[in-house]
Structure 1
Amino acid sequence: MESEGITAKIVDMDWGGFSKEELVDMISKFDPDIIGITSFTSNYANAVDIAKAAKSHNPNIKIVFGGVHATFIHRDVLHTIPEVDIVVRYEGERAICEICDALDRGRKLENVKGISFRHDNRVFSTPLRHRIENLDSIPFPAFHLLEPSIEHYIGEGKEKGFPIITTRGCPFNCIFCSTAALHGRKYRTRSANNVLDEMEFVQDKYKINVISFADDNFTMKRNRVIELCRGIKERHLDFEWGCSARVDLLSKDLLEVMNSSGCKNIFFGIESASQRVLDTVKKGFSIEKAKEMVKLTEKMGIKTHCSFILGLPNETVESIDEMIRFVEETMPSGRVLPNVLEILPGTELWDKESEYFGNTPSIPAADIIRVQLELFYKFFEISSKGRELLTIEPPDIEIIGGSTAFAQTQM
């Protein structure tokens, strides 16, 4: 947006912990023409609250929703939330700039591809735009626009961490995940040099020393990972870093290369310890492979974090208990995350919910809570994590969620 002459600010409502009153105060001071709000399924209600607060303060502000949730229910958003004027569908880097230009010059929104909007109480959707093939063409995130400051975001302690996204797309078929639907099945990547340039930039500019590669499948292309790891060492980039990986896209020699360049954490989406459930949700690997890879990764000195989903199709009380035995056997030294299933728009599970759950009795809530508590207990029991228990704060379910961007369209 800056490269197009658009003045903008970024407000992370989750991280900053801003109240609606503080948001309105920021809107008053910046006086934006457009407010863009990212909406995930988990924060959609809060995103709507933000839109209502902004619109009640200034009815002339244009509210633009984007993100995975709004993408797949865009017509519903525009029919039911009058405060939302426009929805950007799928990727938004180019669309938001064209929206700003159209509104500033009084041009028709019909010419902006990949959006839906309301006009005369009717909802119109423009043709989709092509996905961005050359991810290197996207400028580095505008960290300096974060409110109240990038320093507030990364913290002032010894470890200063930041996420970097290096890929888009996923060729796999997990029925509960919306990544492939949002970004396509083609796995698109930034070049290793482009990623290394960003790492070098944040290290020099913000003294970052911990990087989290926030890709769904960081190790999809083995040779690219190796090139990136070699580049980290050749450029003398002193980082600890972590990533997410599938258990079937790692090997001992690849782990060695990753570890030698600073990889200290790997997040595995195990989802279920039942092979029947894994097959049902089309995860595409065996539970034995998952056990093998968690053990191997731990043996090599890399901390593993294991995520599970409670309540998937074909799940039973007995199968969720297998998650506890999985943790007891593999002993992951990182976080153990027992999440409750949330059915997301854009997924096969959303489209075929009755087919997958039609004849499956629901698991009693008491059993889900019991397994969650037992998995949390195992997490703290492994490696004597009492100190971590004392430092973890419970989530505040009243917090306003969503990332909000303000834009002024004068160019």
Structure 2
Amino acid sequence: MNSEEFKILLVDAPENLSLWFNGTIPSPALSILASCLKKNYNLRVLDLSIEERPWEKLKRVLEEFRPHLAGVSCTHTCQINEVSAELKIIRKFSPDTIIAGGGIIFSVFYEKYIKEGLIDIAVRGEGEITVKQLAEILASSVGRDASPRRSLAENTCITGRMTEALGAVNGISFMNGNAVLSTPDRALIQSLDESPYPAYELYPMERYTSPTFGGSRAFGVIFSRGCSNRCKFCSEAYEWNYTMRKPSAGYAAGLIELLYNKYGRDIFVIGDTDFLYNRQWALEFAELIFEKKMKIKFHIQSCCGSVIKNQDILPVLKRAGLFEIMIGAESPFSDVLKNLKKPYSDPEIIDRAMKIIKANGLLLMTMLVWGTQYDNQKTLHEGLKYFGRYSDFVCPSPLTPYPGTPLFDEMKEKGKIFVTDYSLYDQAHVIMPAGDMDYETTRRVYEFELFKFFNMNIDFYLKMFSRNRFLRLNQRAYVKLVWIHAFESFASRFGYRKKLFKHDEYGKVINQRS
């Protein structure tokens, strides 16, 4: 089959909004893969997170488009049930389609999904090179009138021709006879400048908003991949083998320029784990913003040590548009910091970083992680109070053992994991007990202290009327999210229950005849 005739559907499952960050952007992974494939194949993208009736939309697209290959991604662990539902709909209404799954869940549980028949191929690790090679092999192996999936099965299990071709592709797993065959891991891309910009032109960009940061003017971007720190709870650092890779500052500024000029975005939520990791890079980025005469505002994340080390360049970044820094402080207690394997164990470093950020007139968002063996009700109460003295926003979360991380393996071996529904692994739900408390006490303490901190504090509500536009916008969104969390905690006091996104609609669709 000619590549132009080979039809590929890249589809992103719907997702419930995060506790602290509500908003939508095209899948960073799938939108880049779309750029890799759009020139040579009959490509269509579908983002179900912005569809009012996502499951019906997926069924209709499958019936109309009839893709030879469907690429799905699981960006967040808590999206797992929606991804599984998406796969079941594809299997039912487009049974001849080859399904390739990528993202953290398929890198960890690839054998499960392949053996259950929900996917045919798992893409482990970065997908730019892998997916291009897969598409080329599959397009050349499928006859014009043949079933793509049948061709895959026949070539793999009978003649072995497909096995040989796929076996040469690093970073994939697939069924070979009665066993799952995994090829060697693919080496990480060393120069991220080689990766194309996301194919935003294929998405309805006007439908992507971020109420927390500015509505339709705001947009989320990620430049780097990974993190060089070894925080035991961080799945991103583990996934990328504790490395930090950044594209050039020119590449990053060019992406901002594209969004600024073509799509009218001027407020950016930059999701790099440590924007200040490379001092020279950050300065070059700011200089390019000045050079391109872009009047933007941007939020960044950084580590406390990087803030201290690069405090003298914060005024430059502020002139370029920096308005807020989020730091992963986690706890003001040394034993907790050591247990979390933070790059520092002295709370004085956190204190200095917070003071530096506020001294530069920037908004401060502080992340708190609670739930280690050294935590109790007092550490949560005092941690919230301590960070609240400096921070404009305190974002607490229970320690979450993400599948695939050393923390997950450790807690599973110790029998500490009390919630096995991965859709609840969203840093908003208590998964395991803290300190010497049992699970129920841990959950009760966590929910009580959060409710008390946020709702028995007049300053929390007064921020909704701040003269600072970003503080006002952030806080109004936060108040809503805090109350949603409070009501959910009360309603699920006998056990968490998280419904599938648009579950009634899904039930109707999946029960229709194919």
TM-score range, shorter chain: 0.7 to 0.9
Shift of 1:71: 0.9
Greater mean alpha carbon deviation, residues 353-362 or residues 12-21 = 353-362
Match among 371, 385, 392 for residue 480 of structure 2:
392
Q: Does 1:187 align with 2:244?
A: yes
Relative contact order higher in (CA < 8 Å, ≥ 6 apart): 1
Aligned residue for 1:366, secondary structure, equals helix
> Is the Cα contact below 8 Å between 1:69 and 1:344 reproduced in 2?
no
Change (3 A) 1:210 1:386: closer
Equivalent position of 2:358 in the other structure: 298
Task: Output one character per residue of 1:190-227: Cα deviation in whole Å (capped at 9) or x when no partner.
Answer: 11111111111111111111112211111111111111
> Is the Cα contact below 8 Å between 1:217 and 1:244 reproduced in 2?
yes
Aligned residue for 2:198, secondary structure, equals coil
Shift of 1:329: 2.1
Equivalent position of 1:72 in the other structure: 108
AA aligned opposite 1:140: Y
AA aligned opposite 1:67: G
Q: Which runs of 5+ in 2 are unaligned?
A: 1-35, 142-161, 417-433, 466-474, 489-497, 503-514
Equivalent position of 1:250 in the other structure: 307
Alpha-carbon separation, structure 1, partners of 2:413 and 2:385 = 30
Aligned residue for 1:385, secondary structure, equals helix
Equivalent position of 2:275 in the other structure: 218
> Is the Cα contact below 8 Å between 2:110 and 2:173 reproduced in 1?
yes
Q: Does 1:338 align with 2:396?
A: yes
TM (norm. structure 1) is 0.88
Alpha-carbon separation, structure 1, partners of 2:403 and 2:360 = 38
Aligned alpha-carbon RMSD (Å): 2.6
Match among 77, 93, 105 for residue 140 of structure 2:
105
Change (3 A) 1:18 1:245: farther
Alpha-carbon separation, structure 1, partners of 2:306 and 2:450 = 28
Alpha-carbon separation, structure 2, partners of 1:110 and 1:232 = 45
Aligned residue for 1:230, secondary structure, equals helix
Shift of 1:366: 0.7
Shift of 1:379: 7.9
Match among 232, 237, 241 for residue 298 of structure 2:
241
| Identity fraction in percent | 23
Match among 98, 109, 117 for residue 62 of structure 1:
98
Alpha-carbon separation, structure 2, partners of 1:320 and 1:76 = 37
Equivalent position of 1:261 in the other structure: 320
Equivalent position of 1:320 in the other structure: 380
Change (3 A) 1:355 1:317: farther
AA aligned opposite 2:70: I
> Is the Cα contact below 8 Å between 1:160 and 1:207 reproduced in 2?
yes
* Larger radius of gyration between Structure 1 and Structure 2: 2
Alpha-carbon separation, structure 2, partners of 1:400 and 1:17 = 11
Q: Which runs of 5+ in 1 are unaligned?
A: 402-411
Aligned residue for 1:264, secondary structure, equals strand
Equivalent position of 2:227 in the other structure: 170
Shift of 1:15: 4.2
Aligned residue for 1:83, secondary structure, equals coil
Aligned residue for 1:346, secondary structure, equals coil
Shift of 1:354: 5.5
TM (norm. structure 2) is 0.71
> Is the Cα contact below 8 Å between 2:231 and 2:341 reproduced in 1?
yes
Task: Output one character per residue of 1:78-120: Cα deviation in whole Å (capped at 9) or x when no partner.
Answer: 23x3211111101111111222111111243222210111233
Match among 199, 204, 215 for residue 142 of structure 1:
199
Equivalent position of 1:89 in the other structure: 124
Greater mean alpha carbon deviation, residues 309-318 or residues 190-199 = 309-318
AA aligned opposite 1:283: K
Equivalent position of 1:406 in the other structure: none
Equivalent position of 1:361 in the other structure: 436
Change (3 A) 1:377 1:288: farther
Alpha-carbon separation, structure 2, partners of 1:58 and 1:248 = 51
Q: Does 1:281 align with 2:317?
A: no
Match among 38, 41, 50 for residue 86 of structure 2:
50
Greater mean alpha carbon deviation, residues 309-318 or residues 127-136 = 309-318
Change (3 A) 1:193 1:352: same
Alpha-carbon separation, structure 2, partners of 1:31 and 1:213 = 36
Consecutive aligned runs of 4 or more in structure 1 exceeding 6 Å deviation: 155-158, 355-359
Alpha-carbon separation, structure 2, partners of 1:357 and 1:78 = 27
Match among 63, 68, 76 for residue 33 of structure 1:
68
Alpha-carbon separation, structure 2, partners of 1:380 and 1:130 = 52
